[in-house]
Amino acid sequence: MLNLALGKMGYLSIRNLDDEIMLKLSTLARKQKVSREEYIRRLLEDHVKTDVARLTEDKYRNLIYTLMDIIQNNTDELAELKMEINLLKEKHN
């Protein structure tokens, strides 16, 4: 059960995890000199932060592509306008 109230930490229990996985998690935690619980907590936090960062990156990448399209369209329109102005100048000269 996760407690989402401010200032309170949620509780997570994982059942039916393979013994080999548990052993590997313990070994990895020991290498980092933290408890298995802390190691798993860090893994989960990193995973969520990475996912949020990826979504943010995608959002800004799409925004940049949209802005690039707008700039290109504006550039094309300005080039056409410049040609029309030059044609009008030629007609008046």
CA distances from 92 to 70, 78, 80, 89 (A): 33, 21, 19, 5
| Structure-model confidence comparison of residues 62 and 13, the more confident one | 62
- Is the pLDDT confidence value at 5 over 90? no
Mean pLDDT for the stretch of residues 35-43 = 94
- Do 35 and 29 form a contact (C-beta atoms < 8 A)? yes
- Do 29 and 36 form a contact (C-beta atoms < 8 A)? yes
pLDDT tens-digit map of 62-91: 999 999 999 999 999 999 999 999 999 999
Mean pLDDT for the stretch of residues 1-7 = 51
- Is the pLDDT confidence value at 4 over 70? no
